Amino acid sequence: MERTESTRNNKFFSRVRVGIFCLLILVEAFILFQNIRWELVFGAVPSWLLVLVIELVFTFNNFLKTFVIEEFRHKITCYVIDFLSQLALTLIVNSTYLSAVYLLILSEFYMSTDRLADCIVMGSASLLFFVITRGIAAYYFMRAGIFETITACLSEIFVIIFHFLLVNFALNVYDSKQKMSKSLQELDESNRKLREAYDELAEITVLQERQRIAREIHDTAGHSITTVIMQTEAAKLVMEQDPEEARRRIVAANLQAKNALEELRQSVHLLAGEAAEESLRSAFGRVIGESSDGTGVVIRADVADVVCSSEKKRFLTNTLKEGIANGLRHGHATAFYVELGESDGKINFLLSDNGVGADMGQLKSGFGMNGMTRGARQFSGTADFSSAPGEGFEIRISIPAEGAGTKQQDRKQEEKDEDQSDDR
């Protein structure tokens, strides 16, 4: 099990290390004053002087380790000096505080590494050397009996093992809490970003829906209202010369206005998901009839019974309405030709008129042409426009037919099967 970087470097553990340093200095001072004796060791060196030198080395080493050195790999040398000094001290004095020093050093080591393997190695090494050193010191220098020596060693083994389990368990619990807290913070941040993304998506969805509604109204009501305007304008022109013709055109305009209202209702039902089923050929026939009745416009048609989805049907029908409306309004056309068919896995649509035409180099695409192009791309198709001054306007739409991809795959699979049969 690995501990996180925050466990080793946060403020809490920095304060704990400072506290351990202070405790170590305090315990070492007790050991020093407890062992101020004038007997000589190693020849002519007083024991108190040797203990003092060891204490000074140990204190300076811990100062470097606590306040100067930050990286764990650079602290390894300091830990080696710590244990060597304490092993030397164990051979010189017999203080009950030495065990506390070892445990404090081990605690600080456990908090400094992020690998459990390091803790096991250090704990095992310290257990081995400390117990052996205490046993040697007790038996040879303190003249303890074998039974007392073994008992002291076993108690030290138990303390060090219990300390290892307790400290590492506490650190792992702390780490788990830190990880959980960090995970909760990351989850809160993710939820915040998700809410922002959701709000942004909702706003984009609203804008797209508004654009869709605008296109629906433009493609349906716009065509019918254009026809109504054409009929009423024609009625005004012939009102004095031919009142009967004017009355007929006004009646046709009234009928077209009612059709426009019906189309608006159908658009509302469509937006609510309640669109009525109608074949594409029937829809084309209805649009052609509405456009030619009472307007004097001639519309020739060659419309095949093409089967497609309701979305493609709606797109092609609206394209026909928009094309006729633009031809009447901008091109002053009097005749149209409509063609619809399916070949090579594609639905092909053609609408041409005899209007005044336009220079394609200077023509600016409006709402209607942009809608046709966008709609064709939505179905992975193409929309092409061609015209010239005095030569009318032509619209070509080509979109994949229903199941075109599946049919192509079937043909490829059949060809593959035939090739395999030939090989056999």
Return d(Cα 397, Cα 346) in angstroms, integer. 10
Q: What is the pLDDT of residue 421?
A: 46
**CA torsion, points 363, 365, 366, 372, in degrees to nearest 10?**
130
Summary mean pLDDT of the chain:
78
pLDDT exceeds 50 at position 423: no
CB 372 within 8 A of CB 336: no
pLDDT band, residue 106 (cuts 50/70/90): confident
pLDDT exceeds 80 at position 327: yes
pLDDT band, residue 311 (cuts 50/70/90): confident
Token digits of residue 52: 């003092």
Return d(Cα 198, Cα 202) in angstroms, integer. 6
Give tens-digit pLDDT for 224-236.
677 788 778 888 8
Q: What is the pLDDT of residue 350?
A: 96
Greatest mean pLDDT range, 122-126, 242-246, 323-327, 372-376: 372-376
Q: What is the pLDDT of residue 302?
A: 94
Greatest mean pLDDT range, 113-117, 217-221, 299-303: 299-303
Q: What is the pLDDT of residue 96?
A: 67
Nearest in space to 267 (alpha carbons), one of 205, 317, 233 = 317
pLDDT exceeds 90 at position 404: no
> Would you state the CATH architecture of domain 278-424?
2-Layer Sandwich (3.30)
Give tens-digit pLDDT for 27-61.
888 777 776 654 555 555 667 777 788 888 888 88
Pairing of strands 298-303, 335-343: parallel
The larger pLDDT score, comparing residue 214 to residue 299, is at: 299
pLDDT exceeds 60 at position 420: no
Return d(Cα 10, Cα 216) in angstroms, integer. 61
pLDDT band, residue 407 (cuts 50/70/90): very low
Segment (H or E) for 342 = strand 335-343
Return d(Cα 253, Cα 227) in angstroms, integer. 7
Order of strands, edge to edge, in the sheet holding 346-353? Answer: 298-303, 335-343, 346-353, 393-400, 382-387
Give tens-digit pLDDT for 152-188.
677 777 877 888 888 888 888 888 887 888 888 888 8
Domain ranges, ordered by start, for the chain: 5-144, 278-424
pLDDT exceeds 60 at position 415: no
